[in-house]
Chain A
Amino acid sequence: MSVKEMALNTTMLNELESGEWPSFVTDLKEYSKKKPVVVQLLNQLEDSYQTRWNYWIGKILNAPGYGGGIIARVSEKADVYPDLANFHTVRVIEPPGWVYSTDALRNLADIAEKNGAGILQFHGMSGDVLLLGFNDAGSLQCAEDLMSNGWDIGGSGAAMRTLQCCVGQARCEMACYDTMKMTKHITDTFIHYLHRPEFVYKFKFKLSGCPNDCANAIVRSDMPIIGTWRGAMQVDQAKVAEFIDQKGMEYLIDNVLTRCPTRCLSVRGKELVVDNSDCVRCMHCINVMHKALKPGKDKGATILVGGHRTLKIGDTMSSVLLPFIKLETEEDMNNFTDFVEKVWEFWNDNGMDHERVGEFIYRIGMLTFLKGIEVEPDPQMVVRPRTTSYIKFEELGPSRFEGEREQNPPVWNREPESRESM
């Protein structure tokens, strides 16, 4: 029997066709009538279900001039499923905010179908569109077709990764800066670093327009950019009164006032009183009363650093690096990208292989990191000051004898070690 006539063998996968949630098995089974390679893919997946074992291993394949974006996979069962011998994923940089015209989506579907298995995923955990199922030549042709149609392929490896952002000002009243524009600005400014892995390890940006963080930036990116504002939030007292009339005073007390983390809200009659100096911009009251309350007018973003998931030192949550920056003008955005280059330079000069920036900060300490990137310490960076008393106060140490070699040159000022005798 030729491979072209291979029959579907999906006993266990068939059990994923019942139920109300849309079934990728049903979809791919139907599509396999048009694309015989999908039969082999489903049959190998069925094998994995039967054996609880995986049959993909990685290899390296790149489009000319690029060092990432094609996730190459070869099957260990290529003797049974020859068309899976090379069956790769191509990552495509998504439109910021994941907005599409149907023309754009059809274009992706056509390119995926023409060059490979015609399977698409919206979207990968990196934010990219994933196109699945290309052999070596198909992958390279797919990349060329994408780029000829104005798309660009995404990042992989020790590189700046594809960015992702929330819908932002395109359809949200909470967004405090233009997440889509900023995503495009960072992507385009640093496109070299996205396509050519030359960092010690991966670096991710994720952008959310407000502290609700719909892009999941704070724990899933090395440098979250989270919208916020300075000064007073906007309060429409007439709409506050409407809210109280509609929902009742008890609802306001139980679900707004007492849920404020810094107790900065109170009520006088039907007027909401806000102590803005204590507001930490958590967004809760605005989420509940979004007709009456809005972020303040002086909008910008908080820059954090260091989030990553558990490998290798355990989870790191991003923490505050720049409490507030403006991101409105071209100059604002360029100031930010200049700052990023400084962070990258220090991290890449001093980070170890496979060390995310959060792990790097964990190893060297935030105070050393701040010195290295020339950022002044700010009380907003900490929940509380240190409690450990062992401190190397540079200012209070004894003066050095003239010509005495520093015993412990700081990491940001370290010369290459020389072998000269002491």
Chain B
Amino acid sequence: MSQPTLAPRDQGAPDYTKYLHPLMAKNYGKWDYHERLRPGVLVHVAENGDKLYTVRAGSPRTMSADTVRKVCAIADKYCEGHLRFTTRSNIEFLVGNKANLEPLIHAVEKDLGWPLGGTGPSVSNISHTQGWLHCNLPGSDAAGSVKALMDDLIHDFKTEELPNRVHISSSCCQINCASHGDIAIIVQHHHAPRINHKQMQICELPKVVAICPAAAIRPAVINGMETVEVVEEKCMYCGACHGQCPSMEIRDAETDTLSIWVGGKMSNARSAPTFMKLAVWGIPNNPPRWPEVSAAVKTILKAYKEGGRPWERLGEWIERIGWQRFFEKTGFPFTRYHIDDSPEALSTLNRSAMLRL
């Protein structure tokens, strides 16, 4: 059999200049300012006065080819055939002709059924991972839990009533591919990996041993089989070994739970970027709509909306009022597990006599 003809290799990143909206190409590097006309609608004004309108809508991220074609038909009709996506999986329709703005908004909201919003001080679309749909490691779903949560947060996506923007991320295991956010949801495991000794031989054992951050895995021979064992008191249930070898089963449908973390921030505005901190743990992994997660996130958003000052991100609000009052206002219990015992732990203690008494 003859080898199939191979296409050219190593072509690199697509030539983005072909995909720029004509007004983007014309005014590249020459933008003057922007304004938010209403939630979900921006106008960017170039130095020469050109105006490019952006209509931002919440996308489900996962789409059928037919839905992609529907999106394209709308962009062809109103957007000179150009659009883009954002870091948080919002879609942005780009409009050069102002007259197309209202018909476009109608088409996006009514024909496509995607809500406008995610601009300014709002809850943006949720960064999320692959989940049960197609990942090999997940303890929960992602696309479905995001859909359920955004249904419940839709008001704050479509309006700009919060002190500042809120980035939410949702991850289906502890690796947390969706990363830090003002509010972040992750899965947590509660026991050491259960080892399928008969299947360990498919994995590179030295790599399984080496990957453990707690040095809890050591080689062992069990029933004549070369395998590994886990020192349970050292294991911190992180699941690093599970990524290395599927026979190190860290997940447990009965005992895995979700936890919610707050105060992650990537931007440098006002204060330096920060990691997310534990707020609530032990939330049941409860498909199909995870109501306990929605309830906790809404509690956090309500307290932030009431107490945050303009421009304060969620973590900045908490730092100002103090964690003690964060737990008071949300009603979440502060437990011994909120006190860090990682290598960075000492820097998280209150090493002062500065207290809110």
A residues near B (Cβ < 8 Å) are: 12-13, 15-16, 18-25, 27-28, 30-31, 34-35, 38, 41, 45, 48-49, 51-58, 64-66, 71, 73, 87, 89, 93-106, 108-110, 112-113, 118-125, 132, 143-148, 150-152, 163-164, 166-167, 169-173, 175, 178, 180, 183-184, 187-188, 191-192, 195, 211-220, 226, 254-255, 259-261, 280-284, 287-288, 290-291, 309-315, 317, 352-354
Closest residue to B12 on the A side, CB-wise? A188
Residues of A within 8 A of B113 (CB): 22
> How far apart sit A65 and B290, CA to CA, in the bound complex (Å)?
44
Binds A, one of B86-94, B330-338, B349-357: B86-94
Q: Give A59's nearest chain B residue, CB to CB.
A: B136
Shortest 7 CB-CB contacts between residues of A and residues of B? A19-B151, A147-B7, A312-B213, A31-B64, A188-B12, A48-B132, A211-B268
- The answer to whether A23 and B63 touch (CB under 8 A), given A100-B83, A102-B76, A144-B4, is no
Judge whether A213 and B268 touch: CB under 8 Å: yes
Q: Is B75 an interface residue (CB 8 A)?
A: yes
Closest Cβ–Cβ distance, residue B23 to chain A (whole Å)? 9
> Across the interface, which residues of A come within 8 angstroms of B82, CB to CB?
99-102
Contact B269 A284 (CB under 8 A): yes
15 more contacts with CB within 8 A, not counting A125-B179, A169-B28, are A12-B287, A21-B115, A22-B59, A27-B64, A52-B140, A56-B135, A57-B246, A64-B6, A93-B14, A152-B10, A211-B267, A254-B310, A284-B311, A309-B175, A311-B239
Q: Which residues of B contact A41 (CB under 8 A)?
A: 133
Closest to B42 in A: A171
Residues B147 and A19 in contact, CB atoms below 8 Å apart: yes
State how many residues of chain B have any CB contact under 8 Å with chain A. 118
Q: Give the residues in chain B near A261, CB-CB below 8 Å.
A: 270-271
> Per a CB cutoff under 8 Å, which of A16, A35, A95 touches B148?
A16
Interface residues, chain B, CB within 8 Å of chain A?
4, 6-16, 18-21, 24, 28-29, 31-34, 44, 52, 54, 58-69, 71-73, 75-76, 81-87, 89, 91, 94, 112-115, 127, 129-130, 132-141, 143-144, 147-148, 150-152, 154, 174-180, 207, 210-213, 238-240, 243-244, 246, 251, 253, 256, 264, 266-271, 273, 275, 285, 287-289, 309-311, 342-344
A14 to B147, CA, bound (A): 12
CA–CA, A53 and B239, complex, Å: 16
State in angstroms the CA–CA spacing of A19 and B34 once bound together: 32
Measured CB to CB, the closest approach of chain A to B115, in angstroms, equals: 6
Chain A residues with Cβ below 8 Å from B29 are 169, 175, 178
B198 to chain A, nearest CB (A): 15
Contact partner of A216 (CB less than 8 A), chosen from B6, B14, B32, B179, is B179
A170 and B61 contact, Cβ closer than 8 Å, known pairs A99-B16, A195-B10: no
Complex CA distance for A151 and B16, rounded to whole angstroms? 11
Asked if B287 and A52 sit within 8 Å, CB to CB, the answer is yes
Out of A103, A122, A281, name the residue touching B89 (CB < 8 Å).
A122
A73 to chain B, nearest CB (A): 6
Contacts of A105 in B (CB 8 A): 68, 71-72, 83
Are the CB atoms of A24 and B66 closer together than 8 Å? no
User: Do the beta carbons of B179 and A353 come within 8 Å of each other?
Assistant: no
In the complex, what residues of A have CB within 8 A of residue B8's CB? 147-148
Inter-chain contact B66/A34, CB cutoff 8 Å: yes
Q: Can you list 25 pairs linking A and B with CB atoms under 8 Å apart?
A: A20-B151, A49-B141, A51-B253, A54-B251, A89-B134, A95-B16, A98-B85, A103-B81, A104-B14, A119-B62, A121-B61, A122-B91, A123-B89, A125-B127, A143-B7, A150-B14, A163-B13, A173-B31, A211-B267, A213-B267, A216-B87, A219-B180, A220-B179, A290-B33, A314-B343
Cβ–Cβ < 8 Å partners of B10 in chain A: 152, 191-192, 195
Q: Are A354 and B32 in contact (CB under 8 A)?
A: no
Chain B residues with Cβ under 8 A from A25's Cβ? 144, 147
Verify A65–B12 contact, CB threshold 8 A. no
A45 adjacent to B62 (CB under 8 Å) = no
Min C-beta distance of B162 to chain A, whole Å: 15
Asked whether, in the complex, the Cβ of B207 is within 8 Å of the Cβ of A354, the reply is: yes
What is the distance, in angstroms, from B287's C-beta to the closest C-beta of chain A? 4
- Given A118-B65, A120-B68, A171-B44, check contact A125 B54 (CB 8 Å): no
Do B311 and A24 touch across chains, with their CB atoms under 8 A apart? Answer: no
Contact A56 B136 (CB under 8 A): yes
A213 to B165, CA, bound (A): 14
In the complex, A195 Cα to B246 Cα: how many Å? 25
Q: Which of B18, B64, B147, B239 contacts A118 (CB 8 A)?
A: B64
Contact call A99/B13, Cβ cutoff below 8 A: no
CB nearest neighbor in A for B254? A52
